[in-house]
Structure 1
Amino acid sequence: MTNTIGAAAPTTVEREVRPFGFRDKLGYMFGDFGNDFTFILQSTFFMLFYTNVVGIHPGHVGTLLLVARIFDAFTDVAMGIIVDRFPNAKAGFKFKRWVKWIAIPVAIASALMYMSFVADFDSYAAKVVWMTATYFLWGSFCYSAINIPYGSMASVISANPDDRSHLSAWRSTGGNLANIVISSLLPLIVYVTNAAGVSVISGERMMWAAVVCSILAVFCYAGLYFLVEERVIENQDVPKQSVGLGKMLATVLSNRALLALIVAALVLLLAFMYVGGMLGYLFLEYFHDGRLQSPASFVALVPSLILIVLSPWLAKKFGKAEVGITVTFAAGVIFLVAYFLKIESAAVWISFYAVAMFCVNVFNFLIWAFITDVIDYQEVRTGHRDDGTVYAVYSWARKLGQALAGFLIGASLAWVGFDSEVASQGLAQPQSAVDGVYFLANVIPGVGLIVVSLALLFLYPLKKKTVDQNVAILASRRDATVV
């Protein structure tokens, strides 16, 4: 007789290793630190580099970002399936092994995207080919091959939802630390003033900054590999059931919580990455000093480091979804107010931006705990966790949001009259384009964040009470004993 709550034998168990603790949090933080030394670098400087240094039309760059992310619908999900099904002879290394194998290739691929000599190519087509090939190599192959296992890993480091909230907070802290380095320090290095007195981005400085970021990424991945333990593993006493790929994908895609989170994440990344990508244009064209991006990023990111303590407490007290609904709505309103005030002082706009980004970061510090709740929900529903596949589908949605942001930046810049040829020559843009940049940097993220809040409120089913119930069900299955 099995002592359980109306459930089959547990498909997962916990390894008897050292207890979850600070070492795991620190290691998991290093993982996103490493990821974002290439990811945030790309979202912040990739389009600027290719429009303002190489001279590529912004619409062409945006189209690349969109097409690549559609392609990632296949590579991300394929990677998730490989992670779930690739034989694993050593318990506790299902996800860590991929970090070991891919850390150096993803770093090299990232650096290749910012080679300054590409600007000297005589052929416009050759410039586009280099941009396209290196971007696909980094984003669609190498980054997917390390990010899918890394993100999936959180669900097996601990089965405790409070531990997972801490992991999410520490992961976001790692991302923020990389963001502080890239968004606050790099603008002071890569932006220079040319002979005409116009603030421009230096191609050579950008190249060497990218190389340094790649080296730092490898060291961070090493920290992840050596510090983290995978505790939740497959139960070897339960015979494995062969589930066809079609059936597995069908159950994943019928997961209501995953679909709702995909909607919220897609729009969130669209808004978040859009404002991040527009920031350089805003300070270069509207406030006439690209170096202002450094203090703006600093005041928007540094205060959020307190969220490593605050966000898990908020999640435990009020629930992750409930907190997310509140803060994303508030951030959206702040951006819209900033637009309607037509702020001319850089310091005042930066103040609005800092408050809005603090709200967004409250949600970002919890977002990775959302996906572990969804993976638990998948196991409750089907008896299979499908960690890698669930995370891959979710990751692709996030990357699609990033791509749509890149595509919209390129398309909307062209719509307001931004001229990449003028920018590559170090000349000022027409006033209509400058006003358009201010509109885009405020209204698009403002509306997007309000949509995220509404999606979480009306579509996402895993509010606090439901999450607690799912955790109790899975705990009862794992603790069940046969007598």
Structure 2
Amino acid sequence: MGTDSNSSVQPFGIKDKLGYMFGDFGNDFTFILSSSFMLKFYTDVMGISSGVVGTLMMAARFIDAFTDVTMGQIVDRSKPTKDGKFRPWIKRMCGPVAIASFLIYQSAFANMAYGFKVFWMVVTYILWGSIFYTSINIPYGSMASAISPDPKDRAQLSTWRSIGGTLAGLVIGVGTPLFAYETVNGNTVLSGPRMTVIAGIFGVLAIICYLFCFKLVRERVEVPANNQKLDIARLFKSLVTNRSLLGIIAAAIALLLAMLTMQGMAGFVFPNFYGSAEAQSLSSLTGTIVMLAICAPLAVKLSTKFGKKELSTVSCLAAAVVYLACLIIHPANPYVYVAFYTVAYIGLGFFNMIIWAMITDVIDDSEVKNGIREDGTIYAVYSFARKIGQALSSGLTGALLSMIGYTQATAFDPDVTEGIFKLSCIAPLVGFVLVALCLWFIYPLNKKRVEENVAELARRHKAQG
């Protein structure tokens, strides 16, 4: 395995950044597709109640509570190979996760019995999210600590990872509405066969991106297998008493509530309230532009100067104010709504760019306290929290849509579309406020403490030789 003691391994550089970017590009070809279009696909194409779809997305998270932590333990206890400790999993699992995602969107079954469609949805969604996505995402996320021990390098990896997710969001958010929707009887509706083709194409692109990640990234830091006997009680106690982990988990759940509700409701507010799939594509394009042109160049600089916690808290509060203004003004023009959406995305973007570096800060903080390096397990718990956020946003969106009476038959009723607009503002507004509160009052790793932890670990590692 390549380690920091192996002179044959190239120093940390642009290949690692690009490779890590491609990893999240691959992840989000299936993740964003699910969070943005699965609910609409199964309600509008397959004819399944939005409440049933949302319930599945929440219920699957109980399975993830076991599969995520189990995968984290497998990663922590695995021995390094010639390709590293984390990289091999990316190559092993890229095919299964792409195939499972494709199987979710099979419009050929739209005329099958209701029970069969629910069964198909449950099986394919759990295979994708709870098993295969977990088995590639946990090693990928844990790998950042092994690529470089330098906090600045890790912050750059976090930014490049977010760039990868942003680019995937651009392809999915801009491209999918343009090709997936068609006009039927004057209404903008989702085409099932087109969604099936799109899911297949994105699956192939995901595999290509994962292989680029495997090829370009190198692990330089030796992370030995954790050979300690598994003590469930100790592990549980260390996790539930880790304030920094609990704080980032709470903030992550709120972040996903805000971000995925924005993305998920875009599939309803633009075609149903505004009647404009083009505006939905534009919102994804402008969101991507501000992420790449504003957030990516400034995130590392601002977080280095002010602190990751401090920057994220202020930016999320600003995004909440933007959505409050949108709710009050109630724009009739879809492109004015796009403007509000875009400005709010800047607030979201700063936190999203540095959150992965905050996870490595949590891992460092845990090692300072416990003397044990548990990258896989801690990242697995965080990954589970992200899935909880995804499920809550999808489940909440589905429940709220049901509450306002949204069905295939009522999708364009004026009272229902008005409710859709209000939900598209209120849900992310609440999510952004919760992010700021969780970071400020629960998450303890301010700029000073992060710097102290880095110095302490450097001292310990030097003393260990």
Same fold (TM over 0.5): yes
Equivalences for residues 149-168 of structure 1 within 5 A: 149-168=139-158
Deviation of 1:290 (Å): 2.6
Match of 1:9 in 2: none
Q: What's the counterpart of residue 99 of structure 1?
A: 90
Residues 198-222 of structure 1, C-alpha deviation per residue, up to 9 Å, x if partnerless? Answer: 1111111110011000000000000
Is the 2:29–2:202 Cα contact (8 Å) retained in structure 1? yes
Match of 2:244 among 257, 270, 287: 257
Distance 1:142 1:126, change over 3 A: same
Distance 2:346 2:337 in 1: 14
1:76: how far off?
A: 0.8
Report the counterpart of residue 414 of structure 2 in structure 1. 431
Which of residues 41, 45, 50 in structure 2 aligns to 1:53?
A: 45
- Give SS of 2:138's match: helix
Q: How does 1:224-239 map to 2 (within 5 A)?
A: 224-234=213-223
Corresponding residue SS for 1:178: helix
Q: Which amino acid aligns with 1:470?
A: N
Q: Which of 85, 104, 108 is 1:113 aligned to?
A: 104
User: Which residue in 1 is equivalent to 2:10?
Assistant: 18
Mapped pair 1:299 → 2:296: no
Corresponding residue for residue 117 of structure 2: 127
Indicate how the Cα distance of structure 1 residues 481 and 152 shifts in structure 2: closer, same or farther if over 3 A, else same.
closer
SS in 2 for 1:234: coil
The gaps in structure 2 that reach 5 residues or longer are: none
1:332 corresponding residue in structure 2 = 320
Give per-residue Cα distances to partners, 1:267-317, cap 9 Å, x unaligned.
110111112111110011110123321011111112211333211111111
**Match of residue 10 from structure 1:** none
1:3 corresponds to which residue? Answer: none
Call closer, same or farther: CA 1:92–1:315 in 2, change over 3 Å.
Answer: farther
d(CA) in 2 for partners of 1:437, 1:422:
12
* Code of the aligned partner of 2:223: E
Note if 1:450 corresponds to 2:433.
yes
- Structure 1 residues 342 and 112 mapped into 2: Cα distance closer, same or farther (>3 Å)? same
Q: What does residue range 145-224 of structure 1 map to in structure 2 within 5 Å? A: 145-194=135-184, 196-224=185-213
Distance 1:481 1:54 in 2: 59
Greater mean alpha carbon deviation, residues 291-300 or residues 213-222 = 291-300
For residues 194 and 445 of structure 2, what CA distance do their matches in structure 1 show?
46
Any conservation in 2 of the 1:92–1:233 contact (CA below 8 Å)? no
Runs of 4+ in 1 over 6 A off after TM superposition: none
CA RMSD of aligned residues (A): 1.5
Matches within 5 A, 1:362-377: 362-377=350-365
1:248 to 232, 235, 243: 235
Per-residue deviation, 1:324: 0.3
The residue matched to 1:186 in structure 2 has which SS? helix
Quick one: structure 1 residues 293 and 249, their matched pair in 2 at CA, closer, same or farther if it must change by over 3 Å? same
* More displaced 10-residue stretch of structure 1: 239-248 or 257-266: 239-248
Aligned to 1:273: 260
Shift of 1:140: 0.5
- C-alpha contact (below 8 Å) 1:252/1:378 kept by paired residues: no
Residues 336 and 447 of structure 1 are in contact (CA less than 8 Å); yes or no, is this contact kept in structure 2? Answer: no
The structure-2 alpha-carbon separation of the partners of 1:91 and 1:380, relative to structure 1 and needing over 3 Å to count, comes to farther
1:317 aligns with 2:309: no
Name the % identity: 47
2:26 aligned to which of 34, 46, 67: 34
Note if contact 2:68-2:384 (Cα within 8 Å) is conserved in structure 1.
yes
Counterpart secondary structure, 1:460: coil
More contact order relative to length (CA 8 Å, sep ≥ 6): 1
Amino acid at match of 1:330: A
User: Aligned AA for 1:115?
Assistant: Q
SS at match of 1:193: strand
TM normalised by structure 1 equals 0.93
Give the direction of change, closer, same or farther, for the CA distance of 1:142–1:240 in structure 2 (3 Å limit).
Answer: closer
Residue 467 to residue 119, structure 1, CA distance change in 2 (3 Å): same
Give the 3-state SS of the residue equivalent to 1:366 in structure 2.
helix
Change (3 A) 1:15 1:125: farther
Residue 8 of structure 1 aligns with which residue? none
1:4 alignment counterpart? none
Q: Work out the CA distance in 1 between the residues paired with 2:422 and 2:214.
A: 43
Please, what TM-score do these two structures have when normalized by structure 2?
Answer: 0.96
Q: How far does the alpha carbon of each residue in 1:239-289 deviate from its partner, in whole angstroms, 9 at most, with x for none? A: 954452331232133211000111110111011111211111001111012
Match for residue 479 of structure 1?
462
User: Partner letter of residue 147 of structure 1?
Assistant: N
Pair 1:120–1:315, CA change in 2 (3 A): same
Which letter does structure 2 place at the counterpart of 1:83?
V
What does the per-residue CA deviation read over 1:114-151, in whole Å, with 9 as the maximum and x for residues that have no partner?
11112121x11111111111101100100000001111
* Mapped pair 1:341 → 2:329: yes
Q: How has the CA–CA distance of structure 1 residues 92 and 112 changed in structure 2, closer, same or farther, with 3 Å as cutoff?
A: same
Residue 403 (structure 2) aligned to one of 406, 415, 439: 415
SS at match of 1:417: coil
User: Which residue number in structure 1 is paired with residue 275 of structure 2?
Assistant: 288
Q: Which residue of 2 aligns with 1:7?
A: none
Aligned counterparts of 1:421 and 1:74: Cα–Cα separation in 2: 39
C-alpha distance in structure 2 between counterparts of 1:403 and 1:186, whole Å: 22
- Contact 2:315/2:348, CA 8 A, preserved across alignment: yes
Per mean C-alpha deviation after superposition, the further-off stretch among 239-248 and 147-156 is 239-248
Alignment pair present for 1:402 and 2:393: no
Q: Is the 8 A contact 2:315 2:351 kept in 1?
A: yes
The whole-number CA distance in structure 2 between the counterparts of 1:377 and 1:296 is: 38
Give the length in aligned residue pairs: 460
240-249 or 126-135: bigger deviation: 240-249
Alpha-carbon deviation of 1:437? Answer: 0.4
Question: By how many angstroms is 1:337 displaced?
Answer: 1.1
Question: Residues 402-434 of structure 1: CA distance to partner in whole angstroms, max 9, x if unpaired?
Answer: 1011111111001111123455xxxxx221111
